[in-house]
Structure 1
Amino acid sequence: MITSSPKVLLAALLLVSPLAQAAAPRPIPLLPPEEAAAAEADYQRYCALCHGPDRAGHANDHAPSLKSRSLLSTAFPWLLRESIAYGRPGTPMGGYLDEVGGPMSMAEVRRMMLWLHEKGGSPEPLRLGSDRVAGDVQAGAAVYGQYCASCHGEQGEGITGTALGNPAMLATTPDPFLRHAIEHGRDGTPMEGFAGTLSPTQMDDVTAFLRSRATGWNAEPRPLVPPPALADAVLNPEGEAPAFEFKNGHYITAADLDRILKEKRRFVLLDTRVASMWQLAHIKGSVPIPYYSDREAVVAALPTDGTWIISYCECPRAAADSVNKWLREKGFTNTAVLWEGIGGWVALGYPTTVGRAEP
């Protein structure tokens, strides 16, 4: 339970939107030591796997540095809070807010936001506002192709850089935020500023081009549904045990997983991502057991009769490897990890489903 003081919570509540950023600056509250310690514990539990224990980023999935003063000064408070709470659908960054299936309350999300800002040196927030940046979309497409696509992908899908074509990111990120990053870059990361390389007009054009990539998509609301219980996790209880060959030690290929699903073999399939990602899309029959789950509770609910347990994540293997490791430490020997992850699974043309998995 969060025990933030009324002053801290009130101040955090006021830091909520681009409009608040454009208004008169408000004092940024400091977390009491016990809350800072709790926020750091949450970070290590939920975030360090991808962003690194020291917040330097790129530990897995090209997750960005959370030490960059440039990012913290422009993303704090509202964009940082929204990213933690609701994630980036279409990327490995899931939403951590309990309202979308994650493990954190909004008070815990705000606490994390404040902690990251403090740990980053408490840079003065840049109140960029939310005005539209006017530019030539076609000219911006040409500039993007020449200067940006090699890192961010020809369609903004992200390679070594952020997925700039992600609709969720563009839906919650105002033009001035994008424009500032293009001009000034992100200190402490490979993203250098283009001031001096591109003209102001060219940077405006790229901003307009990126904004245009968010048009035409519709985010259909998906009601949250209760996931299946671990007690019901065994697929095809009357089926035979699966047969497959390991790849690189303890991995199973997407082709083999698809085959044993079609053959209706007996096994357990664990989705080890943050639970909100299971709600968006998952492999049919899987049960969400996030990598940060209570290990004792998971172990107590899983079958101990040698039933195979196969885990997957999106990165493509870090979270699933983590769960697989502690399952083996608890005495489970018939365990495996999906080599390609769900991203590779989808890219190879295998199906996913949303909502409650059918038995």
Structure 2
Amino acid sequence: MIRILTCILLFFTFHFALGQIRNAPLTKSDIESATRNYQKYCALCHGKNRKGNAADYAPSLSSNSLMSTMTLNFLASSIAFGRPNTAMAAYIKDYGGPLDMKEIFTLASWLKYESDAETIDLGDGPIAGDLWNGANLYAQECIKCHGKKGEGITAPALSNAAFLAFATDEYIKYAIVNGRDDTKMIGFKEILTEKETNDITAYIRSLAGGWSKEPKKLAPYPTPKQYVLNPQGKDPNFNLIEGRYAPIKEVMEAIKNKDKMILLDTRTTSEWHNAHIPGAVPIPYYVTEKDVDKGLTDKDTWIIAYCACPHAASDTVIDMLRKKGYKNTAVINEGFFGWINAGYPINAGEIKEIEN
């Protein structure tokens, strides 16, 4: 069976087998564990107080309209599987993330509990609408924030297959009608008729392209002996912006010149497995200061970090390294998406350098 479908099945099996997780009060241990995990893995983007927009336009997880309509399974699946091709990574261990199923459900339950939102039972049936009219209305009202193809700009990606796999039509419609409090997403109940709302909902649903691709096989992590690229090469020269940010073209030029350096991927480990700059070492933003330089034995070799934010996660790791005496450190200014948009090479699940 396709691995992704197996994971989804496990989610629902786990939920129904341990249904008390959803209804019973969280234990003190659960709350402490979830609080730690939220601050460690989620606060960077969603904010320490769950208000959102700390980085990557991450949504508010304290929004009543969001948390009252997002079921526990939907929320848990969002944490587990993430949003492919966005800054929201998969956190489940099966995808290379740091959390197991129990930890994810506990975190999701805690988020629901902390929001203090009364659950609204939305229907799960399909909503019929005029796709042509929905596309036109989407172009008028939604493109600026959600993108021409629903890819997400300053708001969530609506065409994301992982999102559409769990978001019901009624969930989408409710968001359009009522908006999201504590965010820039306004409610359109006074702007659109119900038919127009149905048309947009149907159009967004039509963006779903399925979600059945098997995840790439998880590769072994590089060893310290593989950390340094071109160990016999010369030191690179970067014109750092604000004493910290290396222009993407200069990093690529240094790689082509086979300069000596270490590349750090500071996103979640699941994102490294999905795609990374060739030769990059996964040291995620949630690593402790004690372990951030584990395997890094030379404080003189240049260390270049990157993330998708494009700075938040990599800044966090570089700050820790500089605190420990690593002065030759920098962040790729344009981030990982800038690297991709520039057409520079990436690898998935492999440990190898760029070949000239």
Fold agreement, TM-score > 0.5: yes
1:165 Cα deviation from its structure 2 partner: 2.1
Give, in whole Å, the separation in 2 of the partners of 1:49 and 1:340. 18
Give, in whole Å, the separation in 1 of the partners of 2:99 and 2:210. 32
Hey, what does 1:119 align to over in structure 2? 114
More displaced stretch, 326-335 vs 229-238: 229-238
- Kept in 2: contact 1:306–1:333 (CA 8 A): yes
1:173 Cα deviation from its structure 2 partner: 1.9
Matched, 1:202 2:196: yes
Hey, what does 2:186 align to over in structure 1? 192
Aligned length: 343
Instruction: Report the secondary structure of 2:88's partner residue.
Output: coil
> In the TM superposition, what whole-angstrom CA distance separates every residue of 1:246-287 from its partner, at most 9, and x where no partner exists?
122211111011111111111110000011111111111101
- Kept in 1: contact 2:299–2:327 (CA 8 A): no
1:192 Cα deviation from its structure 2 partner: 1.7
For residues 1-359 of structure 1, the aligned pairs below 5 Å read: 13-14=15-16, 28-121=23-116, 123-215=117-209, 219-359=213-353
C-alpha spacing 1:139/1:40, structure 2 compared with 1 (3 Å): same
Structure 1: where are the runs of 5+ without partners? 1-9
C-alpha spacing 1:174/1:15, structure 2 compared with 1 (3 Å): farther
Give the percent of matched residue pairs that are identical in Structure 1 and Structure 2: 43
TM-score relative to the length of structure 1:
0.90
Instruction: Report the secondary structure of 1:269's partner residue.
Output: strand
- Kept in 1: contact 2:21–2:106 (CA 8 A): no
TM-score relative to the length of structure 2:
0.91
Give, in whole Å, the separation in 1 of the partners of 2:261 and 2:136. 50
Give, in whole Å, the separation in 2 of the partners of 1:100 and 1:126. 31
Give, in whole Å, the separation in 2 of the partners of 1:202 and 1:26. 39
Instruction: Report the secondary structure of 1:226's partner residue.
Output: coil
1:344 Cα deviation from its structure 2 partner: 1.0
C-alpha spacing 1:40/1:238, structure 2 compared with 1 (3 Å): same
Structure 2: where are the runs of 5+ without partners? 1-11
- Kept in 2: contact 1:12–1:29 (CA 8 A): no
More displaced stretch, 188-197 vs 202-211: 188-197
1:348 Cα deviation from its structure 2 partner: 1.9
Give, in whole Å, the separation in 1 of the partners of 2:163 and 2:273. 19
In structure 2, give the amino acid aligned to 1:155: K
Structure 1 vs Structure 2 CA RMSD: 2.3
